[in-house]
């Protein structure tokens, strides 16, 4: 089973709202990732968690706040977003640091009004 789940599938929020994206995997993977993908662009790395610790933050604005409550869950808290933050947000996981394949969830389509 290589399933990564993400909720919600779609999210529309205003610039003053606070919302959270959730990601879950039960494959025993110890590395989890957030990517952002704009239309007709490739995914861009935002954050990497390794053994529940934040190991990479690709200079992402503070209005995006990641959280890894345990080895199976990854959240992305959103606050005061801008319309240009509208994108597909992808979660991925892999067995561990430097490991091989990253498996992607279905993504959350975010629209900021």
Q: How far is the CB of 62 from other proteins (least distance, A)?
A: 19
CB atoms near residue 36 (< 10 Å): 20
67 in contact with other proteins (CB under 8 A): no
113 near other proteins, judged by CB under 8 A: no
**Of 16 and 98, CB closest to other proteins:** 98
Residues 5-64 that bind other proteins (CB under 8 A): 31, 33, 35, 41-45, 48-50, 55-56, 58
Token pair 């199976």 in the structure block, residue: 72
Question: How far, in Å, CA of 92 to CA of 102, rounded?
Answer: 6
H or E element that contains 67: strand 64-70
Note if the bond before 112 is cis, omega within 30 degrees: no
Q: How far is the CB of 72 from other proteins (least distance, A)?
A: 16
Edge-first strand listing for the sheet containing 18-25 = 4-7, 18-25, 73-79, 64-70
Binding residues for other proteins, rule CB under 8 A, total: 28
For binding to other proteins (CB under 8 A), which residues are involved? 31, 33, 35, 41-45, 48-50, 55-56, 58, 88, 90, 94, 96-98, 100-107
């Amino acid at each position: 089973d290589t399933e990564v789940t993400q909720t919600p599938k779609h999210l529309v929020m205003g610039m003053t709202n606070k919302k959270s994206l959730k990601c879950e995997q039960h494959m025993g993977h110890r590395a989890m990732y957030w990517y952002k993908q704009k239309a007709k662009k490739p995914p861009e790395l935002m954050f990497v968690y390794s053994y529940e610790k934040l190991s990479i933050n690709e200079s992402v604005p503070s209005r995006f706040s990641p959280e890894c409550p345990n080895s199976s869950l990854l959240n992305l808290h959103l606050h005061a977003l801008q319309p240009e933050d509208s994108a597909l947000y992808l979660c991925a996981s892999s067995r561990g640091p430097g490991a091989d394949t990253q498996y992607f969830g279905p993504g959350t389509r975010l629209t900021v009004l």
